[in-house]
Structure 1
Amino acid sequence: ATQIARHLGARVFGTASAAKHDALKSLGVDACIDYRTEDFEARVMELTHGRGVELILDAVGGRSFKKSYRALAPSGRLGMFGISSAATGKTPSKLSLLRTVLGMPWLQFNPVSLMNDNKGAFGVNMGHLWDEVDRVNGWMESLLELYVEGAIRPVVAERFSFEHAAEAHHYLQDRKNFGKVLLIP
């Protein structure tokens, strides 16, 4: 998403641990925010002189959705595509999931609030788009065109053989990756 935004001329802010800031900058991120030590909502508002941003893509979920929504500019859009805040360790935690669900902005995303705030919110779950073959193919064709043009390049963090799939999951759960983790047959 960062590379596409840069290709379109957008100013890009990115959240990551401080250890990943150099990698973000190498992709053209204009401002890096350490979500572990900084309040990203306050930092975004500071960077935009109180205006907010046009688009936020949030994979964290829970309370993060609320903060992201508040950091939007008028007519801004919040895209929600994950709830990584529910995954706090290598074993499933019902308490962590419950905390994440309870922290979600259930009342904030009602039609009247969205209209009055002049903001929008949408969610994406690629696993629910299996029957949308033509739509997904269109997206892939657009991405491949950008790849051929050299506008985007996949960022691969690590490759694991199928025999090491569990190790790949641990790598993701430990948040070691910057980029995609591939399973190789």
Structure 2
Amino acid sequence: MKKWFIPLIIIALIVYGIYNRAVGFNNTAVEYEATAKTAWSNVESSYQRRNDLIGNLVKTVQGAADFERNTLTEVIEARAKATSVTIDPTNITPENLAAFQQAQSGLSGALSKLLVTVERYPELKANQNFLDLQNQLEGTENRINVARDRFNESVNTYDIFTKKFPNSVLAGWFGFDEMARYKANAGSENAPDIDFDFN
């Protein structure tokens, strides 16, 4: 056997091993990235459901002629702002995610104010349609939280996979960047001060 044949076989096996590793990495990274993008779509879907419910809630509240228009206007404007901020699943950057979170937080705040204001209107509190919408909204908020948690879990799986060595080298070659996670709003780690003195 020729002397050059054995080194050639060794080199071919090394190249084949590197090729298999690269293909395996790429396929797994694509799978994890797709899972994270699907999870993000579920987050957006949950927020869309909330926006749809808020539209129905606003229409129901508008039926109360003496309801405070200022509060209603805040909700309508916050809803418009929240629906105008979208994220392309292929470009989930920390900046895009922060803008999305800020818009959704503004809507949550306006909605909370609306629900507190409703307490002063017994005819609304007795309206079955309003009560049903309020219950659906509560369930949707829970869905949003679950969807955000699942998104973060799938991003975590993707990021761990692409950051471990030697995967981090391959991630750079194939263009798999770190994905942003959904983070809590600033100050949410502090419990709110509640004053139950209504006098």
Q: Same fold (TM over 0.5)?
A: no
| Higher alpha-carbon Rg | 2
Q: Say which structure, 1 or 2, has more relative contact order (CA 8 Å, 6+ apart).
A: 2
**TM-score normalised per structure 1:** 0.27
Larger % of helix: which? 2
Which structure features the higher share of strand residues? 1
What TM-score, normalized to structure 2?
A: 0.26
